[in-house]
Amino acid sequence: MLNRSLALYEKASRIFPNGVTHDSRFTAPFPIYASRAEAGRKWDVDGREYVDLWMGHGALLLGHCYPEMVAAVSEQVARGTHYGACHELEVEWGEWVTKLIPTAERVRFTSSGTEATLMALRLARTFSGKRKVLKFIGHFHGWHDNLNVGVLPPFDEPVPPGVLREVADTVCLCPPNQIDQVEAILDRDDDIACVIVEPTGATFGVAPLRPGFLEDLRRLTLQHDVLLIFDEVVTGFRCSPGGAQSYYNIKPDLTSLAKILAGGLPGGCLTGRRDIMDLLAFRGDREWDTCRKMPHQGTFNANPVSAAAGIATLKTIEDGTHIARANRNGEILRNRLNGVISDHGVDWVVYGDFSGVKFLPDSGPMDQSLEAIAGGTYDYRRLKAPDPVLRDTFRASMQLEGVDLHGLTGLTASVHTNEDLDQVVRAFDCTLDRLKRQGLIGT
CA–CA separation, 155 and 48 (whole Å): 38
Q: 402 in the Ramachandran plot: left (φ > 0), alpha (ψ -120 to 50) or beta?
A: left
- Secondary structure of residue 137 in the 3-state scheme: coil
Residues 6+ apart with CB under 8 A from 62: 69, 263, 313, 316, 317, 322, 413, 414, 415
Q: What amino acid occupies position 419?
A: E
Cβ 26 vs Cβ 406: under 8 Å: no
- Count of H-run helices and E-run strands, the chain: 18, 14
Output the pLDDT for position 443: 64
Cβ 186 vs Cβ 224: under 8 Å: yes
Report which DSSP code applies to 16: S
93-106, pLDDT tens digit by residue?
A: 999 999 999 999 99
Bridge partners, 229 (sequence order):
196, 254
180-236, pLDDT tens digit by residue?
A: 999 999 999 999 999 999 999 999 999 999 999 999 999 999 999 999 999 999 999
Compute the CA torsion angle 187, 188, 191, 192 (nearest 10 deg).
-50
Bridge partners, 197 (sequence order):
230
Dihedral sign of CA atoms 64, 66, 355, 210 in order: positive
Cβ 378 vs Cβ 399: under 8 Å: no
Report which DSSP code applies to 294: P
Dihedral sign of CA atoms 165, 171, 175, 178 in order: positive
Report which DSSP code applies to 12: H
Q: Are strands 227-231 and 268-272 parallel, antiparallel or unpaired?
A: unpaired
CA–CA separation, 310 and 90 (whole Å): 10
CA–CA separation, 31 and 18 (whole Å): 11
Q: Are strands 192-197 and 132-136 parallel, antiparallel or unpaired?
A: parallel
Residues 6+ apart with CB under 8 A from 166: none
Q: Are strands 106-110 and 268-272 parallel, antiparallel or unpaired?
A: antiparallel
Output the pLDDT for position 369: 83
- Secondary structure of residue 17 in the 3-state scheme: helix
CA–CA separation, 350 and 363 (whole Å): 9
- Secondary structure of residue 43 in the 3-state scheme: strand
Angle at 315 between CA 240 and CA 79, to 5 degrees: 140
397-420, pLDDT tens digit by residue?
A: 999 999 999 999 999 999 999 999
- Secondary structure of residue 174 in the 3-state scheme: strand
CA–CA separation, 219 and 208 (whole Å): 19
Q: What is the DSSP string of 208-228?
A: PPPTTHHHHHHHHHHHTT-EE
Where the chain has pLDDT below 70, the residues are 1, 158, 443
Structural domains in the chain? 32-64+320-437 (3.90.1150.10), 67-317 (3.40.640.10)
Residues 6+ apart with CB under 8 A from 89: 76, 302, 304, 307, 308, 311
CA–CA separation, 14 and 226 (whole Å): 48
